[in-house]
Structure 1
Amino acid sequence: MRFHTEPPTRSFGVVRVEGGNRWARLLARLAGFPPPMPQSRFRLDVAQQGKGHIWRRVFGRHQTRSHLRFDPRRGRVVERFGVVELELSVRVQQGAMMVSVEQARLFGLPLPRALCPESAAMEFETSQGHLGFDISASLPRIGLLVRYTGHIALPELNLRR
């Protein structure tokens, strides 16, 4: 939670990316998600913009960009990837931060639950004191779109405080 309150402007780590079937990979590419790749270098750039932050994730040579902000009225995090906007709920469970998709919009229009992406996302402290992550997105009837796992080193942010 401290990381999200005061995110560093640039962080480095490693990541591994998995993809789904042919249709899922096509949809993931259209959404701007990275292609499957073995363990690769990872960089996260965070910049303040308005009441939120631009997150630029660099997976090897691929970039994924989103805008995150907190909506106090709904009590949810809102993340926008191009024309897709996700409302996310956050909870802490056994020391890990768990993130779930609660609602999705395409071009500003709410998607029915049957078309809403599902997420199994968590962030946690690794045994080395890094910020670990396991992020995945899937669609009903299509399956896994993308899953990326890894960690970023945060020497300037002492997670153990």
Structure 2
Amino acid sequence: MFWRRTFAGDARMLSVFEPVGAWPNGYWIEQTGAVQLRLAVEIIDGGWYWRLRQARFCGVPLPRHLLPTTAAWKRTENGRYRFQVQFSLPWLGTILAYGGLLDAERLGEPHHVGE
């Protein structure tokens, strides 16, 4: 699964998600540049809630106590994809949050804005 995001109109970020194993013991690997996350999935009320198992930077494991707290989920609403991602630090609170409602796009299909 490829997830392309654009922030402030021009800052682009691509993540590649790869499943490993099967639920409930499997997990997903999310690769975004030099950062790799291993994410378990917890199903709550039909939504997927990502749970961080491990983080690496350039292949080096990162101690979890140095990482921001993450709250991330996705669910399907009327055939569309609703998601929310939030990163927080102790004493500072939320440092980044984004979310929205998306349409799925199959590889090779053109994307038309406004349809």
Q: Identity percentage over the alignment?
A: 33
Within 1, Cα distance between the matches of 2:89 and 2:72? 14
Structure 2 alignment gaps of length 5 or more: 107-115
1:17-37, Cα deviation, whole Å (9 max, x unpaired): xxxxxxxxxxxxxxxxxxxxx
- Matched residue, 1:77: 28
Q: Which runs of 5+ in 1 are unaligned?
A: 1-52, 157-161
Number of equivalenced pairs: 103
SS in 2 for 1:150: strand
- Over aligned residue pairs, what C-alpha RMSD do you find? 2.6
Counterpart secondary structure, 2:48: strand
Map of 1:45 onto structure 2: none
Specify the SS of the correspondent of 1:120: strand
Matches within 5 A, 1:37-52: none
User: CA offsets per residue over residues 17-75 of structure 1, 9 Å max, x none?
Assistant: xxxxxxxxxxxxxxxxxxxxxxxxxxxxxxxxxxxx43222343331111211122972
Structure 1 residue ranges, 4+ long, deviating more than 2 angstroms after superposition: 58-62, 71-74, 137-145, 153-156
Whose strand fraction is larger, Structure 1's or Structure 2's? 2
Specify whether residues 71 and 115 from structure 1 end up closer, same or farther in structure 2 by C-alpha distance, changes over 3 A only: same
Q: Which has the higher contact order (CA 8 A, sep 6+)?
A: 1
Residue 65 of structure 2: SS of its match in structure 1? Answer: helix
How far the C-alpha of 1:144 sits from its partner, in A, is 2.8
TM-score by length of 1: 0.53
| Correspondence for 2:6 | 58
